[in-house]
């Protein structure tokens, strides 16, 4: 079976803390191409910055790793 084509999506937000300093929050997902556009649009509604890798990146689990589609993005 051919690997599922995925892209690394990195989401970043910076927030102000009560003491006046800032904190950077970051999350990374490895997203199949068939839901990439909807995933990025959804992430952009919650994160200040969303970047997508330009080439195949299956993530740390490799091409055989589990692929999960979030329930709210399923058809």
The domain locations on the chain are: 1-15+22-52
Q: What is the reported pTM? A: 0.89
**Quick one: average pLDDT of 3-32?**
96
- Give the model confidence (pLDDT) of 43-55 as tens digits: 999 999 999 999 9
End-to-end alpha carbon distance in the chain: 24
Percentage of residues of the chain with pLDDT beyond 90: 81
- Distance, CA of 27 to CA of 32 (rounded, Å): 16
How many CA atoms are closer than 13 Å to the CA of 21, on its beta-carbon side? Answer: 3
- 69 exposed, middle or buried (CB, 10 Å; 0-12, 13-18, 19+)? middle
- Residue 30: band (very low, low, confident or very high) from pLDDT cuts 50, 70, 90: very high
Number of H helices, E strands in the chain: 1, 3
For residue 75, pLDDT over 80 is answered with: no
């Amino acid at each position: 079976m051919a690997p599922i084509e995925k892209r690394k999506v990195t989401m970043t937000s910076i927030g102000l803390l009560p003491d006046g300093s800032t904190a950077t929050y970051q999350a990374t997902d490895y997203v199949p191409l068939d839901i990439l556009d909807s995933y990025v649009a959804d992430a952009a509604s919650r994160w200040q910055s969303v970047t997508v890798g330009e080439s195949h990146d299956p993530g740390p689990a490799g091409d055989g790793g589990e692929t999960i589609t979030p329930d709210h993005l399923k058809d």
